[in-house]
Each structure stands twice: as C-alpha cells, then as structure tokens.
Amino acid sequence: MDKNKRVVVFGLAGLLIVVALVGVGQQVAAPQVNLRPTSSAVDQALTFVDSVSNYLGQGMLYVLNLITKDRVSKDLEKPLGYMALITLLLLFFGLIEFARKVIWVGLIVGWVLIIVRIILDALKV
C-alpha cells in the first residue's frame, strides 16, 4: 500500500474511533446482556462483538443526532454499530482481493440503506 492510501485508511479509522469515543462518554444505559453462568468462549466472543458494535452505534447516533437535532431514530443504533465495526475490520485487515470486493459491495449497499433511513428520519415532522 502506498503512502497516500495508508493516510486515507488510518484517517478513516481514526475518525470512526473518535466518533465511537464521543458516544462512550455519554450517559447511556448499558445494553442488557443476559449471560449464563457457564457461557462458552463463542458466547463471550459474540457478546464482546455485540458490545463493541453497541458502543460504536451509540457514538455514531449521538453525533448524527447533534447534526440533525435529535431526528435520527434510536432503532439505528445496532445497524450503525455493526456497519462501523465491519468498516473498521475492513480497514485494519488486508483481505484477499475477491473477498475485499465482496465486502465493499456489501458495505456500500449497507451504508446507502442507512443513509436513506437517516434522511427519512430527519425529514419526519
């Protein structure tokens, strides 16, 4: 990867991390997670992924609501969080070319759908 691409990748990753950290500092109730006393490593890993995506979603939703004056629905917290998490993973890990193209298509479609939903929420009266 040449120097310009690295700057763009790390700049986008830094922006997503800053957005997530903004949301972590807010007074938001922690997501309810019901763990069984004997949860497996897979359950714990999935709970960790879910928690990270919740915090990313809270941060992005907080920033979007600052911009749109609280018009974006709280229902978008999870989708925004998962899309941000997948975007971060794509930025941090170099994948093989075919997989990277497939993931980019999925990300673009996902972000377009979320942006359409945000616009529709912001236009609500």
Domain ranges of the chain: 3-25+51-122
- pTM of the predicted protein model: 0.54
Residue 28, pLDDT score: 55
In 3D, which of 84, 71, 90 has the Cα closest to residue 111? Answer: 84
- Residues in contact with 74: Cβ distance below 8 Å, sequence separation at least 6, in sequence order: 61
8-62 pLDDT, tens digit each: 666 666 655 655 555 555 555 556 666 556 678 889 999 999 999 999 999 999 9
Residue-level pLDDT at 72: 85
Query: Dihedral sign, CA of 105, 110, 113, 119?
Result: negative
8 A C-beta contact, residue 80 and residue 57: yes
Provide the pLDDT for residue 76: 87
Task: Provide the token pair at 117.
Answer: 């939903």
The confidence score (pLDDT) of residue 49 equals: 92
Give the per-residue pLDDT at 37: 62
